[in-house]
Amino acid sequence: MARCAKCDAPLSIGAEYCGQCGARVNMPQVPEKVNQAINATATIFRASEYVVEKSGSPVTSFEIKDSSGALIAKGKTEMVSLGIAYTLETPDGARIGELRGALALIPNRPYLEIRDRNSQPLGIVMMRVAKKPGAGFFSVGVTTWVIATPAGEELARITWKKAGHEWTIDAPDGTNIAEAHWSWLEIPHQSYTLKIINPIIDAYFLLATIFANPA
């Protein structure tokens, strides 16, 4: 379990402030079993900038490279029950993990599941819709895209820009984590660039946003 940097008291999952001394916690805390699984992918995704190329129409395969062009991971896409599965492997074929995308975008439900190599859940990407406090019954809800733990604790927020061709990923306190760009006119590939500015979340979670783009 994570502990407070100021008083060393244990921190509950998703805590923004220490329950013992009141000190602010920089990031929501991730369950230990999730941290252990993430550590396995952290040894693979260590670069600060990535290029993801998707091939086929619809997409049937993809490659993840670092900024020098070195192949980091590859994968394939297949239809599964009620969704789409993106399987990630190392260049030599060792399984890294799996991303499970939903067929339909439903507010407050996982749109993409982030899984480890054993298909155990690590996190989710979802669109949250909630009303402002005090808003009337017919008021329009506030939409927020988030990366969260499997239990729904927010780890980061996604802001889509330019019709989904660009987006930023920020911590709940506003710290900029990463920026991404989709070069959708490149043929025959769809090319995405992800630049990590503050690596406070594992790159596997950030790369997952490329497969959760609703555009």
pLDDT band at residue 37 under the 50/70/90 scheme: very low
Which residue bears the tokens 């988030």? 146
| Higher pLDDT among residues 139 and 161, named by residue | 161
pLDDT band at residue 162 under the 50/70/90 scheme: confident
Neighbours of 8 (CB within 10 A): 10
- Report yes or no: 83 and 211 within 8 Å, Cβ to Cβ: no
Domains and CATH numbers, the chain: 32-211 (2.40.160.200)
| Higher pLDDT among residues 101 and 34, named by residue | 101
Q: pLDDT tens across 173-198, in order?
A: 889 999 999 986 655 568 999 999 99
Q: Any residues with CB less than 8 A from the CB of 132 and at least 6 apart, and which?
A: 139, 142
The residue-averaged pLDDT of 14-24 equals: 62
pLDDT at 16 over 50: yes
pLDDT at position 214: 87
pLDDT at position 93: 93
pLDDT at position 172: 87
pLDDT band at residue 199 under the 50/70/90 scheme: confident
Amino acid at 41: T
Q: pLDDT tens across 80-100, in order?
A: 888 999 999 999 999 999 999
pLDDT at 164 over 80: no
pLDDT at position 152: 87
Across the chain, what does the average pLDDT equal? 82
Q: Exposed, middle or buried: residue 110 (CB in 10 Å: 0-12, 13-18, 19+)?
A: buried
Q: pLDDT tens across 114-124, in order?
A: 999 888 899 99
Against a cut of 0.85, is the pTM above it? no
pLDDT at position 209: 96
* 72 φ, ψ (degrees, to nearest 5): -100, -40
pLDDT at position 30: 52
